[in-house]
Amino acid sequence: MASTEGALTGTGYINHHLTNLTFGRFPEGHWGFAHGAEEAASMGFMAIHVDSMAWSLGLGIIMFLIFRSIAKGFSVDKPSKVQCAVESLFEMAQDSKDGTFTKQAENLWIAPMALTIFVWVFFMNLMDLIPVDWLPTAAALLNGESWSSISAHGAQTYMKVVPSTDVNIALGTALGVFLMIIYYSLKMKGPIGFTKELTLQPFGPYLVPFNLLLELVALLAKPLSLGLRLFGNMYAGELIFILIAMMYSAGLGLGVLGGFAQLGWAIFHILVITLQAYIFMMLTIVYLSQAHEAH
């Protein structure tokens, strides 16, 4: 709920926008949707953030359809503007891969994978530019809530629309990259070579336990830093948008000031969402390059 006592409050407004639509099993044993952060927490680890899953998968499908449409209508003589944009993005991904990979052996799917990561993360981040009340309000209206009730008490339907502000989505994407790191480390170096890498460096064979501790920390830090960097930056950006949106209910003067603040932050945030997608892509390439290198 946006309010605990019937009236819309600032704390309730913020909590509502930062709470996921969660489906899971209640402690009593039945399954259903949570009606607040406390009920969501009581569902435990296996609860599903339905909104984050739906938006991330939906954006992935949109990306796939766009790429498929361009591939089917590919033209050398008269390329469309969208085709030119995608070709530029692919060249960026290919150049990033070529400039990072030091091993001569080619891996033909690294650049397409990097392009997919960049565009998908960018699409998820791009949802942050949609005004924070539009989609949650639309979801509440579709769920049967009245406009007067939403205006007076806040929406009761939860709908968090920026997947990358959900730590589960950010870390889940990073976990996929981590599994690729493990796979290529074993494939390129072999189980014995990968084990030696973890146990014999940096201090040689006489400090194997210490070496293993250091290398495992460094290895596990890769997905954690990859996911938490994306989550932290996007979560902070979304919170600022929510705080600016609260200014609209504080009178005409602050409402006008909030409009300029929202426009300025949105323009700056275009750089943030693009940069975060690029960093995620580049770190993925760097980590996979390290997995391909044999010491």
Catalytic positions: 225, 229, 233
Bridge partners of residue 48, in order along the sequence? 23
Instruction: Give the whole-angstrom CA distance, residue 184 versus residue 165.
Output: 29
Instruction: Give the whole-angstrom CA distance, residue 55 versus residue 123.
Output: 10
Amino acid at 71: A
β-strand 31-33 against 22-25: which pairing, if any? Answer: antiparallel
Name residues whose C-beta falls within 8 Å of residue 217's C-beta, 6 or more positions apart in sequence. Answer: none
Q: Three-state secondary structure along 211-233?
A: HHHHHHHHHHHHHHHHHHHHHHH
How close are the terminal C-alpha atoms of the chain, in Å? 56
Bridge partners of residue 22, in order along the sequence? 49
β-strand 22-25 against 48-49: which pairing, if any? Answer: antiparallel
Instruction: Give the whole-angstrom CA distance, residue 82 versus residue 70.
Output: 8
Residue bearing tokens 């989550």: 231
